[in-house]
Chain A
Amino acid sequence: MEVVETRSGAVVIVEPLGRMDSTTAQPFGDRVVKLIRSGSDHLVIDLGQVLYISSAGFRSLLIAGKLIDELQGKLVLCGVSAEVKRLFEIGCFTDLFDICATRDEGVLKAT
């Protein structure tokens, strides 16, 4: 899956494009983990261009969240559409992540 990566001050914004499913989630997750381990532990994941997230996709988000917690960094999600939000609700993930409406708010919160 294509991933757009941008930097805003000390915060890195990662924007996955397309579907986060059993095929794409692992390479995406590996990339995010690598990024975190290389020192970018203030992270915004912008889900605005994601079509859907399967359990494999949530697994990669959980792994990123746990790692950032351990490193005492900050992970914020943004751009969650109504359809994707429903998936967070079904999996009871809403309370496990900081979710902001916009990318700017996300960057502010992750700083």
Chain B
Amino acid sequence: MPEITIANRANERTRAAGVLDQFAAERLIAPETVAQVQIALDEILVNIADYAYDDDAEHQIHIRFEMIGGCLAAVIEDDGARFNPLETPAPDLGAPLRERRVGGLGIHFVRQLMDEVIYERVGERNRLVIRKFLKA
């Protein structure tokens, strides 16, 4: 199962997306499923960058992709402050265009697009598992 460790920088996210693309191509996973997992992964990595660290040091984020029992999963681990994205409040989706803010939308996308999202604090690390069941 492919793994990648990236630094906590925007351009590193492209590398993680590339590993997922390649893994999905090898396993012949449907493009729309891959797109959904790519979105969820991007949202989670952005959240880590925004909330996990209160210093400017470079941090490592470890990502592992798995295919188990018809389910595509990504396991994302960081050494940032305890942060459970599932506890973030739902975004206000009713506001008109001029008043719309996009805060909280990323995690909303993760919840809506993935079949399972599991948060664990493991020692000094955050571990988030996202799972998408593949259509038969």
Seen from chain A, the residues whose Cβ lies within 8 Å of a Cβ on chain B are 19, 21-23, 51-56, 58-59, 62, 65-66, 69, 83, 87, 90-92, 96-97
Is B72 part of the binding interface, using a Cβ–Cβ cutoff of 8 Å?
Answer: no
Q: How far is the CA of A106 from the CA of B126 in the complex (A)?
A: 45
Q: How many A-B residue pairs have CB under 8 A?
A: 69
Q: In the complex, which of the residues A22, A62, A92 contacts B46, with contact meaning CB atoms closer than 8 Å?
A: A22
Question: Which of B32, B43, B45, B97 interacts with A83 by CB under 8 Å?
Answer: B32
Closest 4 CB pairs of A and B: A92-B93, A52-B35, A55-B105, A55-B106
**Contact B17–A56 (Cβ < 8 Å):** no
Q: Which residues in B have their C-beta under 8 angstroms from that of A92?
A: 93-94
Instruction: List 12 A-B residue pairs with CB atoms under 8 Å apart, sorted by A's residue number.
Output: A19-B38, A21-B13, A21-B38, A22-B46, A23-B11, A54-B42, A54-B43, A55-B106, A56-B106, A58-B102, A91-B105, A92-B93
For window 93-108 of B, CB contacts with A under 8 Å fall at 93-94, 96-98, 100, 102, 105-106, 108
Is the CB–CB distance between A87 and B42 below 8 Å?
no
CB neighbours (8 Å) of A91 from chain B are 93, 105, 108-109
Count of residues in B whose CB is under 8 Å from the partner chain: 28
- Main SS of the interface on chain B? helix
- Cross-interface CB contact of B113 among A21, A51, A56, A90, cutoff 8 Å: A90
Other than A54-B106, A62-B100, give 7 A-B pairs with Cβ distance below 8 A. Answer: A19-B17, A54-B39, A55-B109, A65-B97, A66-B97, A91-B108, A97-B97
- Residue positions of B touching A, CB distance < 8 A: 10-11, 13-14, 17, 31-32, 35-36, 38-39, 42-43, 45-46, 93-94, 96-98, 100, 102, 105-106, 108-109, 112-113
How close is A76's CB to chain B, nearest CB, in angstroms? 14
- How far is B42's CA from A55's CA once the two chains are assembled, in angstroms? 9
